[in-house]
């Protein structure tokens, strides 16, 4: 059984999934930075934490833009 989703809703769901992916990768880089810092690899920790911070900001900005400009499903 397949789920039928209207086109506009499908695009909104894909955009929201991309925003969540961005935040997921930000958390992954944050954890990598914390582990590298705990192991004494301060160069790796600094780069990973900067990447995590950048991805977090971009993800939050995209999420806010999506929520502000997002449209609901069109009902015929």
Is the Cβ–Cβ distance between 47 and 30 less than 8 Å? no
What share of the chain has pLDDT > 90, as a percent? 0
Please compute the mean of the pLDDT values over residues 35-41 and round it to a whole number.
87
| The pair of three-digit structure tokens given for residue 5, joined into one six-digit string | 């989703």
The answer on pLDDT for 9 being more than 60 is no
The answer on pLDDT for 71 being more than 70 is no
Please compute the mean of the pLDDT values over residues 39-43 and round it to a whole number.
87
The answer on pLDDT for 16 being more than 50 is yes
């Amino acid at each position: 059984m397949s789920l039928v989703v209207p086109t506009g809703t499908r695009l909104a769901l894909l955009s929201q999934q991309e925003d969540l992916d961005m935040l997921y990768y930000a958390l992954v880089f944050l954890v990598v930075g914390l582990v590298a810092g705990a192991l004494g690899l301060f160069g790796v920790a600094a780069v990973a934490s900067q990447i995590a911070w950048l991805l977090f900001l971009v993800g939050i900005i995209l999420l806010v833009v999506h929520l502000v400009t997002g449209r609901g499903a069109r009902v015929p």
